[in-house]
Amino acid sequence: MKASRTGIVFDEIFLKHDQPSHPENAKRLESIISALKEKRLLEKVKPLKSRLAEVDEITICHTKEYVEYAKEFCEKGGGYFDPDTYSNKNSFLTAATAVGSSIDLTKAAISGEVKNGFALLRPPGHHALANRSMGFCLFGNIAIAANVALTQPGIKRVAIVDFDVHHGNGTQALIADDPNILFISTHQFPFYPGTGSIREIGTGDAEGTIINIPLQSGVGDSGFKSVFEEIVIPSLQRFHPDLILVSAGYDAHWEDPLANLSLSLSGFDWITTQLISSAQQLCAGKIIFFLEGGYNLDVLDFGVTNAIRRLLEISNIEDPIGESSQTEPEITRLINELKKIHSL
């Protein structure tokens, strides 16, 4: 069966986890869906049916005690799990549906039902830890999907690339001891959540399968291009994954209100193009993007719609916002140190 379409997963339930005054609110996804309709991209993709994950699927990465606690907490009306992470009566069902949908989109790309995909999920997942929520995230969508992928025929190695401005500490913690999963994170540092130093490289059999690229404030298109050309892409080529999963956060843009990196929409598009090209070269095009952060709605709309265009092999992208006027810091020393640590 020849896959002819890009798959997406979206469910109205993802809008029911909401607190309008919080940066991570339902307007983020409402705005993306509206933009996809306006640009006539929804008619070009293949929507996959969403589903609620089973508890034993969530506990692939999370403790049963935490899952049960989260379910009960939300059923009682919710509240704040931690200072950053809210919930309401719908939040457990929303987060569990995000997990189930992540798994099924991943399986669809592996089986060839779709050629690639974008998981339009809320809440995000890359900060969630095994036994607690963190940083707007309840469950580790991408980490669970990666673990399930390794149970599928033909998948022996999975790479996760996280370009959200915040370090994907949850993803790293949930997959850190698995030598069959490569985790690469570009992120502002020092910054929330405080993890992701250059020396965090994995331990035991998995040593070297964690590649953290901590970037100082102001790094933008030029710096990211150097990092991807000299570190990210060579690392993917050496690992040679059977599947690439991407934590796609659009908060590294220079107009994002919560961070201080200086990527433009054209910079995000360049990164997206490089990752899709790597997937085509290494794993028959099997690549799935998972929505993470991004808190400027215009940036988010254009970032996601541009990425879906690239997945659909549509060449024209949009960047009405332009590049940052900030002078980028020098990162040659960082790149040289990363090359030394990871023998690149």
Token digits of residue 250 = 């659009």
Token digits of residue 10 = 């979206």
Known active-site residue 253:
no
Return the residue matching tokens 């009960």. Answer: 72
Among the options 127, 166, 187, 253, which is catalytic? 127
Outline where 131-264 has alpha helix (H): 141-149, 169-175, 221-227, 233-239
Q: Output the CA torsion 302→306→308→313 (10° steps).
A: 160
CA 322 – CA 332 distance, rounded (Å): 25
CA 286 – CA 12 distance, rounded (Å): 26
Strands across the sheet containing 158-162? 46-48, 6-9, 116-119, 287-291, 243-248, 158-162, 181-188, 210-215
Question: Helices 265-282 & 297-311, crossing angle to 10 degrees?
Answer: 30
The answer to whether the beta carbons of residues 114 and 46 sit under 8 Å apart is yes
Identify the three-state secondary structure at position 322. coil
The answer to whether the beta carbons of residues 300 and 28 sit under 8 Å apart is yes
Q: Taking the CA of residue 108 as centre, how many other CA atoms within 13 Å lie in the half-sphere pointing to its CB?
A: 26
- Active centre residues (catalytic): 127
